[in-house]
Amino acid sequence: MDEAALAQLEDYLRHLALQRRLSPHTVSNYRRDLERLRDWCSQRGIAHWHELDSHGVRSFVATRHHQGLGGRSLQRALSSLRGLYEYLLREGLVKSNPGLDIPAPRSEKHLPKALDVDQTARLLALSDDSPLGRRDRALMELFYSSGLRLAELVALDVDSIDQADHTVRVLGKGSKSRVVPVGSKALAALAEWQRVRGQLAASGERALFVSSRGTRLSTRSIQQRLRLRAREQGLDQPVHPHMLRHSFASHILESSGDLRAVQELLGHADIATTQIYTHLDFQHLANVYDQAHPRAKRRKE
């Protein structure tokens, strides 16, 4: 592709990072998808974005599918392509979006993995009272208490927590702010962490959770610490940050049955995204049935 097209791609990626304030991880995914599209276009002599039509998009999707890309990844690649063309349309650089109405192959739906209540309690029963131990306990309690996304937790500052109001203010996807309740155990863990935070935090650092170097804790560090703590607490499965968000949602739904409230707490724009947790709820009920119903027991014997 020519230099103008490459510059337009970089402008769009900067727009995602600076204007839409998407997380670095999300921008990185967009970049990877769009650079593959760029390379595909270059190999076929397409020099400008306006030269790509719907037939070309279908061919691109077919090529990626033959290369082994799954349905979910193809859907994300198409979403990246459509987002780029929406931007180019607004800038008056193209006249149409060739990715509209182009379907991706369907992918098998996988339920998000969640910890049960006992597993969650075991994970959070962390007895390490060192500054790092208090930090890890506080961030895990807050994850589970409020159902935060990893990027939302990383972005929290000290003043994001309102101890008096028992809430946390987070900046979610699309720069949408929401206020989420914080449970009493999480508040207590946060208070314990804030008492020793000054031993680690660099001067002037506003981040709520900091590393041993005194700067804002990174997403990778949180992922690693959670895996470490899960092993230390004897959990027999890998635990990642989003698993605590899934656990929060499924446990709330099991207790309340209020899907709309769970949608608001999670910050989902579309309730269809939240409806996956109704399947988790049914999965829990089915497990209880299989363990408790006399006929179910006989069927297993």
Of the two residues 172 and 91, the one the predictor is more confident about is: 91
Section 239-249 average pLDDT: 85
pLDDT at 292: 59
User: In the annotation, is 277 catalytic?
Assistant: yes
User: In the annotation, is 173 catalytic?
Assistant: yes
> Which residue is catalytic, options 173, 178, 185, 284?
173
CA distance 58 to 17: 28
CA angle 48, 56, 29 (to 5 degrees): 75
Q: Measure CA 292 to chain center.
A: 35
User: In the annotation, is 90 catalytic?
Assistant: no
> Which residue is catalytic, options 48, 227, 242, 284?
242
CA distance 208 to 29: 27
Q: DSSP letter at 218?
A: P
> Which residue is catalytic, options 135, 197, 246, 268?
268
pLDDT tops 70 at residue 291: no
List the one residue out of 98, 102, 143, 129 whose CA is nearest residue 239. Answer: 143
List the one residue out of 168, 257, 250 whose CA is nearest residue 208. Answer: 168
How many secondary structure helices (H) and strands (E) does the chain include? Answer: 14, 3
pLDDT at 283: 58
pLDDT tops 50 at residue 299: no
The full set of domains in the chain, from first to last, is: 3-90 (1.10.150.130), 117-239 (1.10.443.10)
Q: How far is CA 213 from each of CA 5, 24, 186, 195, rounded to the nearest angstrom?
A: 41, 21, 24, 18
**DSSP class per residue in 28-68:** HHHHHHHHHHHHHHHHTT--SGGG--HHHHHHHHHHHHHTT
With a CB cutoff of 8 Å and minimum separation 6, the contacts of 177 are: 169, 170, 171
User: In the annotation, is 297 catalytic?
Assistant: no
Pairing of strands 161-162, 177-181: unpaired
> Which residue is catalytic, options 149, 216, 246, 251?
149
In the numeric block, which tokens belong to residue 40?
Answer: 């595909």
Q: With left for phi above 0 and alpha for psi between -120 and 50, is residue 235 left, alpha or beta?
A: beta
Q: Tokens 């724009």 correspond to what residue?
A: 269
User: In the annotation, is 31 catalytic?
Assistant: no
pLDDT tens, position by position, 4-15: 999 999 999 999
Out of 20-29, 49-58, 185-194, 268-277, least confident range: 268-277
pLDDT tops 70 at residue 109: no
In the numeric block, which tokens belong to residue 180?
Answer: 């989420």
pLDDT tens, position by position, 211-222: 999 999 999 999
List the one residue out of 112, 108, 98, 217 whose CA is nearest residue 157. Answer: 217
Q: What is the dihedral of CA 43, 48, 51, 56, to 10 degrees?
A: 40
Q: Tokens 């996304």 correspond to what residue?
A: 149
pLDDT tops 70 at residue 150: yes
Q: What percent of the chain has pLDDT over 90?
A: 51
User: In the annotation, is 229 catalytic?
Assistant: no
pLDDT at 174: 73
